[in-house]
Amino acid sequence: MISSVLARFGPKVKKSQDESYYTAGQLALIKARFMRKTSGVVAGWVLASIIMVSFFAPFFAPIDPTIRGADTNYQRGAPQAFYFWDEQGISLRPFTYTYSKDKPKIDFMALAGSGGLAALDALTSSGALSSSAQNKYNIDEQQRRYVQFFVKGWEYSLIDFSIAGLNLDLRWDRHLFGVEQGEIHLMGTDQDGKDVFSRTLHAVWITVSIAVVALIVKLFTSLLVGGISGYFGGRVDAVLMSFTEAVRVIPSIPVYLACAVALSSMDLTAVQRYFAIAVVIGALDFATLGRRLRTHILTERNQDYVLAAQLCGSSSWRIIWRHLIPSFSSYIIVDTLINFPYVILAETSLSFLGLGLTEPVNSLGVLLQKAQDPDIQQNMIWQFFPVLVFVVLIMAFVFVGDALRDAADPYSEKK
Amino acid sequence: MIADFFTSTWLLWVLLSVAGFLFWRSRSSKYFLYVFNRYLLALMTLLIVSGIVFSLMEVLPGDCAEKYIAYKSSQGEMITQADIAAERSRMGLDRSLIVRWSSWITDLTLRGDLGFSCAKRQSVNIALGDRFWMSFGFCIAGLLFAYLIAVPFGILSAYMINKPWLDKNPKYNKKQRWINSIGLSFNKVLDLKLRMISYLGLALPNFLLALSIILLYVFAGEPVPTGLFSDQWSAEPWFAVSGFQYGKLTDFLSHIWLPIFVIGWAATALQLQTVRALVVDESNKLYVDAARARGVDGMSLWVGYPVRHSISPLFNSIGFDFQRIFNDLPIVAIVIGMTDSAALLIEALAMTNDQEMAAAILFLVALVVISMNFITDIVLAAVDPRVRNSVLG
């Protein structure tokens, strides 16, 4: 945007018409056009860094996000900020303060002594038993706790390459940052004492990987349906397309819901369930891409190169897979990338209803589900941090997808 | 006796007579041949939809007999496995899937009977009642909201970036072209803002938007406008002894904006993008240049050529927009606490496993989408010369 304004007023630069522009491949052209769009590039960097951080989430997260890492001394705790200075002076190393839990004062003697329901009534109505009163923390501003980098913590697997008996699990126990003693909760904790910041980092990767699995499944279904339907045409096409039309007409989220309910009656582990949901979301989402591919192949199958391949004795399968689909590959790639946010939204909505992934798993949908709780809305507003990350992630995906669509369109330069 | 037969199978006769009328006209008119083909296609799609929906519902755990038995055992009766089997054969649940599906279809086409809801213990038609019309109203209102905002602003957004001739026009001198280009940059900023809003609409899913609005109410300390009526009006009838109760109407209106706004939000964002892309695409076509060369200029050029031509694809997508809106409705219904058919659908799917109810709702939505697609197709073929030429050859 800014660069285009500057280019309007700046000195006129003559475009060098060198050879490389004309000999460049399709992907190089797309890349060059993409690089010209500032919003897309910025969103791309944001996206890449979010995904990098979430892929190495155990390294970037200071605390184990499972119940093992739950801090029982700091449940429902507010976020702890970094400080660089306070009344005692400036410190180059950032620090936070020590906290200690307030013991709720319940006068058992009064209850036992004067006895009766009146005292009990007064106790319950005073709010001392409510969960927010039970978890009051005193922050001791005299005792600093300095933040340290590359601290030792819980052991985690950095990358797991182990396939079929081979044990290539890279394990490490260093974390980017931590405090000397105790723990640091950048975004506070939930009611179990699990760190919201660490959970969110882990959740992003799980959500993105579900979307990847779903999109791969979707790609294969739509290539299969679109390819067969377009290549053979006629009656096969009519049957497959009316089936596609029927799938397109039924609202998808209720269908996902029915499949999720059916899955929940089976006895699946968390990982199997996770893949099953991804496969269901992917397999039912083939309609749009399948139709586009079919239209493309219908026009393309009368070309000379298809006839040549047929005369050479290629099988139909080989012609579809090696000749027809690659001629549409740039559109397929772009369409897949554009669909990323929608698949993530589908998973999130399912988990939000409590039927996708469920509580011990860290996925964005599970974390967003908590935003519905009035208690969290009023007393633990820091649990809305995952919502923020979610919106940023989806925005980044949408911007990158939009820039890519413009870049992949060969006529976009005329606009 | 015969009159009884006809009144109970009225739906079949309506379908057949429409088909017969279309077939009769199709022998003399190419247009009606197209409509007849579309009609048959729509009926076939409906059949496939019902098959998909019905087989999907089979994967839901539990069946009607088990629920009925569970209901009976909660009344204090002793139940054995043989009772369940007997109940199942009485309800016909031991027959094969195909047989049950075809009997469901015949019930539906002959009598318009959507089946029996196991959880509610009454016919689906009665249990659903006007709740489906309520959801339908919500979707239509959301659709209207989306179109009323998206179409003008999408056109505006496209109009703002699409004036490349302004700073190339030789009739302006250099100074005027400078001024024009400043104006163009300003327009581009406005366009960018509109696009940002629509991006936000895509990124913020409906349930998060509903939650944020509720959160704002919580912070402001106001009563949250969930549900359809506030407590004091929910029990009151629409018509009291003193006549129509306007208080109930205003209360209803003050609650209804939230679901409509939330439902329309994502659709608005998507439509804004679509309208903008369509108008930009159209305005670069040669016939616009040709019209400009003939001397058509300004608003009459803009409205008469690119905008007019980009409306028909938009009109064509109404059916799928309706489907997309209904798709989001269940989640919104849960967040806001509505009691329409979308909420009933979630209840039937996720809580009570009420297969026939869920199948009926899904089928009805598909029916609405298919008939909308059918109507838009035949209207477009009648109105738009480009579509007419492409489908009628």
> Rounded CA gap, B91 and B105, in Å?
16
A266-324 confidence digits (pLDDT tens): 777 777 777 888 888 888 888 888 888 888 888 888 888 888 988 998 888 888 888 88
Q: Do B60 and A261 touch (CB under 8 A)?
A: yes
Nearest-CA residue of chain B relative to A238? B41
Q: How far is A354 from chain B (nearest CA, A)?
A: 9
Over range B207-216, report the average pLDDT: 82
The pLDDT confidence band at residue A49, using thresholds 50, 70 and 90, is: very high
Tell me which range, A109-118, B214-223, B384-393, is most confidently predicted by mean pLDDT: B214-223
pLDDT of B33 = 86
Tell me which range, A180-194, A382-396, B233-247, is most confidently predicted by mean pLDDT: A382-396
Which of A184, A210, A240 corresponds to the end of one domain? A184
Q: Do B284 and A395 touch (CB under 8 A)?
A: no
| Residue A111 touches chain B, beta carbons under 8 Å | no
Residues A133, A269: one domain? Answer: no
For residue B108, pLDDT beyond 60: yes
CA-only gyration radius of chain B, Å: 27
The pLDDT confidence band at residue B392, using thresholds 50, 70 and 90, is: low
For residue A256, pLDDT beyond 60: yes
| Residue A20 touches chain B, beta carbons under 8 Å | no
Place of tokens 């709720």: A104
Q: Do A251 and B41 touch (CB under 8 A)?
A: no
**A83, β-bridge pairs:** A95
Report yes or no on A84 lying in a domain: yes
B 229-268 near A (Cβ less than 8 A): none
Q: How far is B59 from chain A (nearest CA, A)?
A: 6
Nearest-CA residue of chain A relative to B46? A246
Residues A158, A307: one domain? Answer: no
Q: What is the CATH number of domain B131-352?
A: 1.10.3720
Report yes or no on A1 lying in a domain: no
Q: How far is A269 from chain B (nearest CA, A)?
A: 18
Tell me which range, A351-355, B77-81, B166-170, B388-392, is most confidently predicted by mean pLDDT: A351-355
Chain A residues close to B189, C-beta within 8 Å: 1
Over range B345-349, report the average pLDDT: 78
Mean per-residue pLDDT of chain A: 78
Q: Which among A249, A258, A259 has the least Cβ separation from residue B370?
A: A249
Tell me which range, A333-342, B196-205, B280-289, B371-380, is most confidently predicted by mean pLDDT: B371-380
Strands of B202-278, DSSP E: 239-240, 243-244
DSSP assignments along B309-345, one per residue: HHHHHHHHTHHHHHHHHHHHHHHHHHHHT--SHHHHH
Out of A118-127, B150-159, B168-177, B331-340, least confident range: A118-127
- Chain A interface disruption, residue of B43, B55, B215, most A CBs within 10 A: B215
Q: How many CB atoms are located within 10 Å of the residue B227 CB?
A: 15
Q: Which among B188, B284, B323 has the least Cβ separation from residue A414?
A: B284
Chain A residues close to B53, C-beta within 8 Å: 250
**Whether the Cβ atoms of residue B359 and residue B115 lie closer than 8 Å to each other:** yes
CATH of the domain at A376: 1.10.3720.10
| Residue B106 touches chain A, beta carbons under 8 Å | no
Over range A358-385, report the average pLDDT: 78
Q: Which among A8, A352, A415 has the least Cβ separation from residue B331?
A: A352
For residue A177, pLDDT beyond 50: yes
For residue A406, pLDDT beyond 80: no
Question: What tokens were used for B204?
Answer: 């913020």
Q: Do B362 and A255 touch (CB under 8 A)?
A: yes
How far lies B10's CA from each of A28, A270, A319, B108, B111, in Å?
63, 51, 51, 11, 7
pLDDT of B106 = 80
**A174, β-bridge pairs:** A152
Report yes or no on A374 lying in a domain: yes
Out of A386-400, B11-25, B80-94, least confident range: B80-94
Q: Do A387 and B188 touch (CB under 8 A)?
A: no
User: Percentage of chain B with pLDDT > 90?
Assistant: 0
Phi first, then psi: give them for residue A169, nearest 5 degrees.
Answer: -90, 110
Report yes or no on A15 lying in a domain: no
pLDDT of A45 = 92
For residue A415, pLDDT beyond 50: no
Q: Do B370 and A254 touch (CB under 8 A)?
A: no
**B240, β-bridge pairs:** B243
User: Percentage of chain A with pLDDT > 90?
Assistant: 2
Q: Which among A257, A372, A398 has the least Cβ separation from residue B350?
A: A257
B40-75 confidence digits (pLDDT tens): 888 888 888 888 888 888 777 777 777 777 777 777
Report yes or no on A19 lying in a domain: no
Which of A159, A184, A209 corresponds to the end of one domain? A184
Of B272, B278, B365, B360, nearest to B319 (Cα)? B365
For residue A10, pLDDT beyond 70: no
User: Percentage of chain B with pLDDT > 70?
Assistant: 88
Of B324, B328, B350, B345, nearest to B208 (Cα)? B328
pLDDT of A126 = 61
Is this prediction's pTM over 0.90?
A: no
Nearest-CA residue of chain B relative to A6? B185
For residue B371, pLDDT beyond 60: yes
**Whether the Cβ atoms of residue B227 and residue B337 lie closer than 8 Å to each other:** yes
pLDDT of A1 = 56
Residues A213, A242: one domain? Answer: yes
For residue A194, pLDDT beyond 70: yes
Q: Do B185 and A5 touch (CB under 8 A)?
A: yes
Q: What is the ipTM of this complex?
A: 0.80
The pLDDT confidence band at residue B221, using thresholds 50, 70 and 90, is: confident
- Please tell me which residue, B185 or A163, carries the higher pLDDT value: B185
For residue A405, pLDDT beyond 50: yes
Contacts of A257 (CB under 8 A, 6+ apart): A350, A353, A355, B330, B346, B349, B350
- Chain B interface disruption, residue of A249, A268, A344, A379, most B CBs within 10 A: A249
Residues A177, A106: one domain? Answer: yes
Out of A217-231, A365-379, B313-327, least confident range: A365-379
Place of tokens 């739950």: A70
| Residue B190 touches chain A, beta carbons under 8 Å | no
For residue B181, pLDDT beyond 80: no
Chain A residues close to B331, C-beta within 8 Å: 253, 349, 352-353
Q: Do B59 and A258 touch (CB under 8 A)?
A: yes
Place of tokens 């946010």: A341
Q: Do B362 and A374 touch (CB under 8 A)?
A: no
For residue B357, pLDDT beyond 60: yes
For residue A129, pLDDT beyond 60: no
Q: How far is B233 from chain A (nearest CA, A)?
A: 24
Out of A21-35, B227-241, B275-289, least confident range: B227-241
- Domain residues for the domain of A360 are 42-56+201-408
Residues A244, A372: one domain? Answer: yes
Report yes or no on A25 lying in a domain: no
Structurally, chain A folds into a number of domains equal to 2
B128-156 confidence digits (pLDDT tens): 777 888 888 888 888 898 889 888 888 88
Q: How many CB pairs under 8 A join A and B?
A: 122
Nearest-CA residue of chain A relative to B201? A395
Nearest-CA residue of chain B relative to A338? B202
For residue A132, pLDDT beyond 70: no
**Whether the Cβ atoms of residue B329 and residue B135 lie closer than 8 Å to each other:** yes
A 147-206 near B (Cβ less than 8 A): none
- Please tell me which residue, A176 or A318, carries the higher pLDDT value: A318
Q: Do A395 and B199 touch (CB under 8 A)?
A: yes
| Residue A251 touches chain B, beta carbons under 8 Å | yes
| Residue B303 touches chain A, beta carbons under 8 Å | no
> Rounded CA gap, A346 and A335, in Å?
17
Which of A157, A184, A211 corresponds to the end of one domain? A184
The pLDDT confidence band at residue A164, using thresholds 50, 70 and 90, is: low
Chain B residues close to A247, C-beta within 8 Å: 52
- Strand B243-244 versus strand B239-240 pairing type: antiparallel
Chain A residues close to B48, C-beta within 8 Å: 242-243, 245-246
Q: Do A398 and B203 touch (CB under 8 A)?
A: yes
> Rounded CA gap, A396 and A338, in Å?
11
pLDDT of A46 = 92
**Whether the Cβ atoms of residue A250 and residue B52 lie closer than 8 Å to each other:** yes
Over range A392-406, report the average pLDDT: 85
Nearest-CA residue of chain B relative to A401? B199
For residue B90, pLDDT beyond 50: yes
Q: How far is A214 from chain B (nearest CA, A)?
A: 19
SS3 content of chain A, % helix, strand, coil (to 5): 60, 15, 25
**Whether the Cβ atoms of residue A191 and residue A182 lie closer than 8 Å to each other:** no
Chain B residues close to A341, C-beta within 8 Å: 202-203
| Residue A252 touches chain B, beta carbons under 8 Å | yes
